[in-house]
Structure 1
């Protein structure tokens, strides 16, 4: 970790756009210890077994035919940054194209510094990621495990490493099941994201696009929680409780940054989505819940998330 090199990369940001993405990657990596991915034979086979078992169990309980992505990687923090920097750049492209051009040199340094800070913070905390590669050419998906972060959090929470790793694998594979059940989902999320970001680039707020995006992601996170409850071969409330306690124990600056990155919203999506699907399953079954992925029109509306009986009546 070299903070001087990180600052130098930011202050040396150049190019014609408002963000120097090469400098973003250089600064984030310089500020972040990559961590080790020297896995023991048991850890190597453990990741493979967990993903394979998760695929079989999630297929069984959901009735959804899907496969895990061709790309399944055990990464260090720098690997994860490399895998995600292109997504950051694609998402921000409309703002770069249409954004204000006031004091471009100064703005470029500030924007580059902000994005590198966000990338470094996420790179230090992401445990696993199912990546549908939104806004990318082609339809490839990927599954990542950031081994140094998994190791660190395992130690901080004082939990069994094999069980914790398996829990993460099951959670990420549930997302693969969702996108496997709904081939249209990637395109749907891309359209809503592009609409919202392009409006921001023109100084406007497309509230409807962001509302639709939030509603869809609430369904994604809630259904994943439902499948976890049904598929994971152990209780995991103690793991969830320890992670929640860790979040609540963060210092005020860390909590502020989490809010800025929308991580608090993600937790709300988990909880709201889980409540919705629990109601659906209790009134019907998992097969009924899976119908949410048949077509975009089957996604719950914002109102239906709080009133699942209305979604059941409509669908």
Structure 2
């Protein structure tokens, strides 16, 4: 019944734009099991403790002062869709005036594509620090911290990992992102402007390789610095968790691999790896405090060439 409702919502997509976002929300939730939110009081306390401990440790290691949301949200997959669909809609806004020669058919295809993307992400995202990129009005300075409880418990079970330890690992990772955005208040606007520019060019039939390259190097810095802090801040060895997750990724079926490739998630993995190598080299040479210079201003972000040659970035920062 859920699949039928999902397909029907997509095929009945309407409106004047290239994507019927109401249909995307309905179809994504109809085709996605929300998952259990049967969270015990002890588990809720565990999430709060882990986030608090992560904040203290990451502050100590990074030297950055940063805030966290007052409320840590433990959500299911449908909540994640609701929390993210407006951001997706704002990101895709430049496409609104580009429906094409066959608007009804294009609308169904685009609505179906976004439904697949949101459904897949809702089933796979574990935690999310959200600085509310592209937010408008009074909420523009807000931020949120989510944990998608059914995904966290499912992956911990599939890895046969200790659930408390796995939850703590995810909490530390998301808090490292909070540290980055706290240290670089310019970062959301920087990402927003680049995303809008790239999508605007795409809507006009062009590929802005320069802007896409900037986005890639920026996200490489974001993911790599987070990995650096994780290595220094997490309170126990976690190589075994990394290896189990890599084994799980390699074991995915062809459909999952295809969807991940279409969503650029293979690129995200590459960003982790390249960014980690870059910041490990910088920190080994000059320490974590020096590596944190990357967040002083946009001009301090490494270039594509510097990602491959950390010594060049070090020389530029010294100059």
Matching residue within 246, 255, 270 for 1:253: 255
- Provide the rounded CA distance (Å) in 2 between the counterparts of 1:238 and 1:67: 30
Does residue 1:121 correspond to 2:120, yes or no?
yes
- Provide the rounded CA distance (Å) in 2 between the counterparts of 1:135 and 1:66: 20
Pairs within 5 Å for 1:113-262:
113-137=112-136, 138-262=140-264
TM-score w.r.t. structure 2 length?
0.97
Does residue 1:51 correspond to 2:51, yes or no?
yes
- Provide the rounded CA distance (Å) in 1 between the counterparts of 2:210 and 2:149: 38
Give the 3-state SS of the residue equivalent to 1:66 in structure 2: coil
- Provide the rounded CA distance (Å) in 2 between the counterparts of 1:38 and 1:256: 32
- Provide the rounded CA distance (Å) in 1 between the counterparts of 2:265 and 2:71: 26
Give the unaligned 5+ runs of structure 1: none
Maintained 8 Å contact 2:17/2:99: no
Q: Deviations over 1:217-246 (max 9, x none)?
A: 000000000000000001111111111110
Deviation at residue 70 of structure 1 after TM alignment: 3.6
Q: Deviations over 1:47-105 (max 9, x none)?
A: 000000000000000000101124521010000000000011001110122x2421111
Instruction: Give the CA RMSD over aligned residues.
Output: 0.9
Q: Which residue of 1 aligns with 2:104?
A: 105
- Provide the rounded CA distance (Å) in 1 between the counterparts of 2:99 and 2:156: 44
Maintained 8 Å contact 1:219/1:299: yes
Deviation at residue 116 of structure 1 after TM alignment: 0.6
Q: Which residue of 2 aligns with 1:265?
A: 267
Q: Which residue of 2 aligns with 1:21?
A: 21
TM-score w.r.t. structure 1 length?
0.98
Moved more, 86-95 or 131-140: 131-140
Maintained 8 Å contact 1:70/1:141: no
Q: Which residue of 2 aligns with 1:62?
A: 62
Deviation at residue 7 of structure 1 after TM alignment: 0.8
Maintained 8 Å contact 2:224/2:271: yes
- Provide the rounded CA distance (Å) in 2 between the counterparts of 1:170 and 1:89: 29
4+ long deviations beyond 4 Å: none
Give the unaligned 5+ runs of structure 2: none
Maintained 8 Å contact 2:169/2:234: yes
- Provide the rounded CA distance (Å) in 1 between the counterparts of 2:34 and 2:233: 32
Maintained 8 Å contact 1:196/1:210: yes
Matching residue within 288, 306, 309 for 1:307: 309
Does residue 1:9 correspond to 2:38, yes or no?
no
- Provide the rounded CA distance (Å) in 1 between the counterparts of 2:271 and 2:292: 18
Maintained 8 Å contact 2:48/2:72: no
- Provide the rounded CA distance (Å) in 1 between the counterparts of 2:213 and 2:304: 8
Matching residue within 285, 298, 301 for 2:300: 298
Maintained 8 Å contact 1:50/1:169: yes
Deviation at residue 155 of structure 1 after TM alignment: 0.8
Maintained 8 Å contact 1:272/1:305: yes
How many residues end up aligned between the 2 structures?
Answer: 314
Deviation at residue 41 of structure 1 after TM alignment: 1.3
- Provide the rounded CA distance (Å) in 1 between the counterparts of 2:247 and 2:15: 43
Give the 3-state SS of the residue equivalent to 2:141 in structure 1: coil
